Structure 1
Amino acid sequence: MTALDESRNETEGNPPKVAVVTGAGSGIGKAVALAMLKAGYRVALVGRREQVLAEVAARSAAPDRALVVPADVTDADAVGEMFERVRSRWGRVDVLFNNAGISAPPVEWHALSATQWREVVDVNLNGMFFCLQQAFRTMKDQRPMGGRIINNGSIAAHAPRPNAIAYTATKHAVSGMTKAVSLDGRAYDIACGQIDIGNAATDMADQFARGILQANGQLASEPLMDVNLVADAVLHMAGLPLEANILFQTLLATKMPYIGRG
């Protein structure tokens, strides 16, 4: 959407769509937030670090359409307050990119501490659930009713890496939530889908290029893909009419180990 298109939409009573992007301060979330702002969305940038979010908003194509909302997604009350700020500012939510996530140290699973396990579950599962819940409530009650939720899964939702049980378990759980919300959202014109990403070039993926443990016990460098390809894919999912839904999309570097993790 160009600035002219946006101006025309505003004049015709069709303001830009409103998107909430969690984990918007870095990596995939940052790339998606910037792409959505460039495409004409109003975007709430959500994350724990306010200054980092403000820097993303400042470098965007339209800082006037960016709302910086620092929040901890593991805190249900904070998530509720975050969505209330978005509704107060723009009146509705059309898209949630449910993206915030972390991983645990790559240790043998039986050596993982209870604290490390809970931290991953709290962000990747509980945090996603709290954001899903608030987005669903908002989309169900707003007029016109409906919206789209896009969960960031992972290829770990299908095949694990060595020493990654917490990340793998939570990403499998995200797939279950995606299916449940997709089913329960039908009555309210809420479409829910998931993008499973493999080896997007972000700071978090630098270790893949340097060399990472493979299923055969060897260390190997893995190819990466441009993170902006992920942003393009999310934009495509977000831009579909609500009568259609990409339930699951897998986007990965073509030559990376995935099928059989080899």
Structure 2
Amino acid sequence: MNTRAEKIAIVTGASSGIGKATAVALFANGWHVVFAGRRLERLEQAIVAATEAHLDQAGETAPLPRALAVQTDVTSEESVRNLFARTHSSFGRLDLLFNNAGISGQEVPVEDLSIEVWRSVIDTNLTGMFLCIQEAVRLMKHQTPRGGRIINNGSISAQVPRRNSIAYTATKHAVTGLTKSIALDCRDFDIACGQIDVGRIDSEIGAGASSATANPSSIPKLDTQLAAQAVLQMANLPIEANMLFTTLLPTKMPFVGRG
């Protein structure tokens, strides 16, 4: 039986980038973490890194949290249901979903974007997030103590687009709608929902974005650890408080005004 002091998190897209860094940071902070992603081997490698980070941060005498790797395709309803069912059977509750899994698609002019790529980005970035939200809410509404927190990974493309990224931008704008809807619809059930919008970051999904600005070499990339620490700050708020939106970006990124 879990107590409120034991905190259980699911992180999707936990095999690399912001997802991996966040899952590691949560585990090092004492959370029990379910690492979800398509590549099981990389999830298991992430758990090894998380264990090392916890030992470095808490010391060898501190209790080691539990970690679980679950191979998951967020575009599959069955796969998502399996993820949450395994989480519930293993830990008995869920306190945090970091809804992070996503793909960037192709950076091409709108008239050249194939319908296959469009659907793939929609299925992963939007429908996948929706499916995970559904299952998280089902658990959080009916567990004791009731409630929990959902944090959606938006990207600054949820606010302004980069060039030739209509599919990615459309999904990320839609993620903002998901965040606002869940924050409204679920607050009476002690479920908080917030969103982090991260700018230029050193991760796999951001690797293809270097052509988005006139002088990309002049804009530094943020380390994924900074994004992870921002998510950790949101996650550790008392459930009575919610950080609805937060934006993290390099100071010299051309984002505000004309750049």
1:113-166 superposed Cα distances (whole Å, 9 cap, x missing partner) = 000000000000000000000001100010000000000001001110000000
Higher relative contact order, chain-length normalized (CA < 8 Å, sep 6+)? 2
Report if the CA contact (8 A) 2:149-2:192 is conserved.
yes
TM-score w.r.t. structure 1 length?
0.90
Report if the CA contact (8 A) 1:159-1:260 is conserved.
no
Aligned to 2:76: 75
1:33-85 superposed Cα distances (whole Å, 9 cap, x missing partner) = 00000000000000001111011112212576110010100011110111000
* 2:249 counterpart of 1:259: no
**Distance in structure 2 (CA, Å) of the matches to 1:76 and 1:261:** 42
Structure 1 range deviating more: 195-204 or 16-25? 195-204
User: What percent identity do the matched residue pairs reach?
Assistant: 52
1:16 to partner: Cα distance: 2.1
* 2:171 counterpart of 1:173: no
The amino acid that maps onto 1:186 is R
Aligned to 2:161: 160
The amino acid that maps onto 2:211 is I
* 2:43 counterpart of 1:44: no
**Distance in structure 1 (CA, Å) of the matches to 2:207 and 2:253:** 14
1:213 to partner: Cα distance: 3.3
Instruction: Name which of 228, 233, 245 aligns with 1:248.
Output: 245
Report if the CA contact (8 A) 1:21-1:43 is conserved.
yes
Aligned to 1:213: 212
The amino acid that maps onto 2:196 is I
Q: Secondary structure, in 3 states, of the residue corresponding to 2:146? A: coil
TM-score w.r.t. structure 2 length?
0.91
Which ranges of structure 2 fall in alignment gaps of 5 or more residues? 55-63
Q: Secondary structure, in 3 states, of the residue corresponding to 2:86? A: helix
Instruction: Name which of 56, 59, 62 aligns with 2:49.
Output: 59
* 2:18 counterpart of 1:28: yes
Q: Secondary structure, in 3 states, of the residue corresponding to 2:205? A: helix
Aligned to 2:184: 183
Q: Secondary structure, in 3 states, of the residue corresponding to 2:144? A: coil
Aligned to 2:58: none
Q: Secondary structure, in 3 states, of the residue corresponding to 1:228? A: helix
**Distance in structure 2 (CA, Å) of the matches to 1:261 and 1:158:** 14
1:12-43 superposed Cα distances (whole Å, 9 cap, x missing partner) = x5552000000000000000000000000000
The amino acid that maps onto 1:155 is I
**Distance in structure 2 (CA, Å) of the matches to 1:243 and 1:261:** 37
* 2:227 counterpart of 1:226: no
**Distance in structure 1 (CA, Å) of the matches to 2:127 and 2:72:** 14
1:261 to partner: Cα distance: 6.3
- What is the count of residue pairs matched by the alignment? 246
Report if the CA contact (8 A) 2:34-2:69 is conserved.
yes
Q: How does 1:91-102 map to 2 (within 5 A)?
A: 91-102=92-103
Which ranges of structure 1 fall in alignment gaps of 5 or more residues? 1-9
Report if the CA contact (8 A) 2:103-2:205 is conserved.
no
Report if the CA contact (8 A) 2:31-2:65 is conserved.
no
Report if the CA contact (8 A) 1:20-1:96 is conserved.
yes
RMSD over aligned CA atoms reads: 1.6
The amino acid that maps onto 1:244 is A
1:212 to partner: Cα distance: 1.6
Q: How does 1:139-154 map to 2 (within 5 A)?
A: 139-154=140-155
Q: Secondary structure, in 3 states, of the residue corresponding to 2:97? A: strand
**Distance in structure 2 (CA, Å) of the matches to 1:234 and 1:82:** 21
Q: Secondary structure, in 3 states, of the residue corresponding to 2:206? A: helix
1:227 to partner: Cα distance: 1.3
1:189-211 superposed Cα distances (whole Å, 9 cap, x missing partner) = 00000000001222333455xx4
Report if the CA contact (8 A) 1:21-1:99 is conserved.
yes
